[in-house]
Amino acid sequence: MFGSSPVTIMITSEADTWDIDVSSCLGCGQFVDWDRMPDPEQEARIPQDILSKPPKELKKLAREGYWAASRALRAQVYHQLIQQVACRLVTPDALVYRDVESRLFGKPSMSSHPLPEFLEGCSMPTYCLNLEGVTALKKILICIGNLFPDITYSPILPSLVALLLHYSEDEAQCFENISRLIASNAPHTSYIDQSFLAHQASCMTFGDLANKHCPAAHKLIASTSENVFEVYSEWLSWLFHDLPFSYAIRVFDVYLLEGQKVLYRIALALLKQYRLSVTSAEVEGTDIKADLQAFVQNIAEHVTVDKLLERAFGIRLFSRKEIWLLQMANRKALMERGITMAQSRQSFHLAVDMQNFSSSIVTAQEMRVIWSWIPERFSLFPPLLLFSTSEDGCSLQRFYTCCEGYEPTVLLIKTTEGEVCGAFLSSDWSERKKSGATSGFFGTGECFVFTVRPETEKYEWVFIKKPELAKAMPRSRQRSPSPSPSALLSSSPDGHGTSSNRLAVPTPQRKGRLSPFLAIRHFLLPSKTASMFMSGSQEGIVIGGGGGQALSLDANLLWGHTEHCETFDNLPLCQENFKVQLLEVWGFQNA
């Protein structure tokens, strides 16, 4: 199966800067089926000092597609960038590969070799490799399985090896470079997920980001798919399986310089482009997972690679560290659910059981839509009814007693007019006691309010959609006290006081999985009312503030009020003054 073939061993200079010489990469391309390549790459004259430029300038050049000007340049850049990746002290190199390759494949009697178990169920894209290239791809993957026994699941590896083979002098150099990406140990940075747990956490993180940055696409997917997570679990395959080679290699250019964060950006841009290209009527009744895959495979019909990357880098993501914190929180949630090994996604991501779910306010399908808005690490867990006015009575004190000790929670309200609205509340209601007599606002930027009937709509914290409104706050600054909501329940909804007009986002006191990327952020906000998430007192509860309250309920949980507020920039969630017919609070089993 793996016949040996002569290869040219090239010795690469170890100098910090290299001259670009096409003759130095004569071995590159031996694994490529040139007849299947989309377009021949045009060689261009490259400045001699290109590889000595600072990282910021290299990043700009990669985003603009500069490497595409020369096959030799791309090969040299790839090798140098990967050689600069911080990795574990003992990382297999080209010499190790030659030794292992000779031991495994040097005996003519051994005619077949199984691929590593970590590739079970994974696709094997070949990106226009010739027969020799496909053989090299399999050999490298088998050697990785031998030398990295800790890898248990890594569906992205075959694609990365196949792309690197296009620009490698031989198998050994390709193996050394992929080994360095596997063994990377830079802080808050990863290139390749190497376990089912890490892969699932990445998929959940993408789901969280899609929920925040692609609300229109997310709403479409949630309304047409039974399992939103199953759609998002393919996000890496969109980039390194479904995208045509000319797009995938441009993604790879920036990925080597910027790590996994850039993959999130580009996948989000694909999701946004998909929503622009289809209508709700077109996807109704279709397999949206397959439809998205077909869309990405034919992306050239919709947007150029340059425009796609431009849109990707126009998305304002959180910092690399904050995304890493979110990913760690998702990993923790999976571990708490006992999910560490590969298993059916259906078994643990369909948290809302369509057959057994029962609410007096929403249907199971409506609850699934609400659950799709919730951060992934919480939506793993099935809903648990904590309080219901039909069972527990219209008592605010009973409301607090039943809800304390649970975070987060989902509040559902049905009015006497049949309208349904609610809120996702990130903090335990017991937080209200920490403000003493002056009940202040608490919660985090993961809180949001929503409507279910007659229209389905979600309103997030205003700074998620408009991050430019806030500036980073120096660590030395202390946050001002939150404005008291007690007056909001009994007097003007204005909410304006006389304290400082700059306020830091309230940070929860307790530690845990709560808002890992928003709770740790501190902002200088243009308005003190822009972070009024939730508040409770003996007079009632308030959700959202500033110029009005998104939701307020009286002490008897019978009468409520809704209007636009600065925190969520929402429309009224139902008739402005309403009477409560039913109210429910849902928690998360084992959350």
Segment 460-494, tens digit of pLDDT: 887 766 655 544 434 333 333 344 444 444 443 33
> Do residue 154 and residue 298 come from a single domain?
no
Examine residue 249 and state whether it is found in any structural domain, yes or no.
yes
The number of CA neighbours under 13 Å toward the Cβ of 412 is 27
Asked if 178 and 140 count as a contact pair (C-beta separation under 8 A), the reply is yes
> Do residue 128 and residue 204 come from a single domain?
no
> Do residue 574 and residue 451 come from a single domain?
yes
Give CA torsion, residues 478, 484, 488, 493, to 10 deg. -20
Pick from 32, 42, 94, 31: nearest CA to 73: 42
The CATH number covering residue 228 comes to 1.10.472.80
> Do residue 453 and residue 548 come from a single domain?
yes
> Do residue 535 and residue 576 come from a single domain?
yes
> Do residue 212 and residue 154 come from a single domain?
no
Asked if 376 and 229 count as a contact pair (C-beta separation under 8 A), the reply is yes
Examine residue 22 and state whether it is found in any structural domain, yes or no.
no
pLDDT on residue 418: 94
Give 4's DSSP letter. Answer: -
Cβ count within 10 A of residue 146: 14
Asked if 398 and 392 count as a contact pair (C-beta separation under 8 A), the reply is yes
pLDDT on residue 316: 83
Segment 291-347, tens digit of pLDDT: 999 999 999 999 999 999 999 999 887 777 778 888 888 888 888 777 666 544 334
pLDDT on residue 516: 37
Segment 86-113, tens digit of pLDDT: 888 888 899 999 999 888 887 654 557 7
CA–CA gap between residue 350 and residue 360 (Å, rounded)? 21
Asked if 155 and 55 count as a contact pair (C-beta separation under 8 A), the reply is no
Examine residue 563 and state whether it is found in any structural domain, yes or no.
yes
Pick from 462, 65, 10, 444: nearest CA to 250: 65
Examine residue 516 and state whether it is found in any structural domain, yes or no.
no
> What contacts 419, CB < 8 A, 6 or more positions away?
451, 453, 454, 573, 574, 575, 578
CA–CA gap between residue 70 and residue 46 (Å, rounded)? 8
pLDDT on residue 435: 61
Asked if 286 and 224 count as a contact pair (C-beta separation under 8 A), the reply is yes
Pick from 310, 315, 270, 308: nearest CA to 292: 270
Examine residue 303 and state whether it is found in any structural domain, yes or no.
yes
Q: How many domains does the chain have?
A: 3
Pick from 354, 378, 370: nearest CA to 420: 370
Give CA torsion, residues 417, 419, 424, 427, to 10 deg. 0
Specify burial of residue 8 (Cβ count, 10 A radius: 0-12, 13-18, 19+): exposed
Q: Domain boundary residue among 138, 160, 183?
A: 183
Give CA torsion, residues 377, 380, 384, 388, to 10 deg. 60
> Do residue 115 and residue 239 come from a single domain?
no
> Do residue 136 and residue 263 come from a single domain?
no
pLDDT on residue 5: 36
Examine residue 110 and state whether it is found in any structural domain, yes or no.
yes
> Do residue 316 and residue 431 come from a single domain?
no
Q: What is the pLDDT along the chain (591 residues), one digit of tens a residue?
A: 333 333 333 333 333 333 333 333 445 788 988 888 876 555 556 666 676 788 788 888 889 888 887 788 888 889 988 998 888 888 889 999 999 988 888 765 455 778 888 888 788 888 999 999 999 999 999 999 989 988 989 999 999 999 999 999 999 999 999 999 999 987 767 789 988 888 989 999 999 899 888 988 998 888 888 788 889 999 999 999 999 999 999 999 999 988 888 999 999 999 999 999 887 777 777 888 999 999 999 999 999 999 999 999 998 877 777 788 888 888 888 887 776 665 443 344 556 666 778 899 998 888 888 888 888 888 878 889 999 999 999 999 999 999 999 989 999 999 999 999 999 998 889 888 876 545 578 888 889 999 999 888 999 887 766 655 544 434 333 333 344 444 444 443 333 333 333 323 333 333 333 333 444 333 444 455 556 888 888 889 999 988 889 999 999 999 999 999 988 989 999 999 999 999 999 998 865
> Do residue 93 and residue 166 come from a single domain?
yes
> Do residue 437 and residue 574 come from a single domain?
yes
Examine residue 478 and state whether it is found in any structural domain, yes or no.
no
Give the domain range for residue 119: 34-183
> Do residue 70 and residue 200 come from a single domain?
no
Examine residue 239 and state whether it is found in any structural domain, yes or no.
yes
Q: What share of the chain is helix, strand, coil (3-state, %, to 5)?
A: 45, 10, 45
CA–CA gap between residue 296 and residue 124 (Å, rounded)? 17
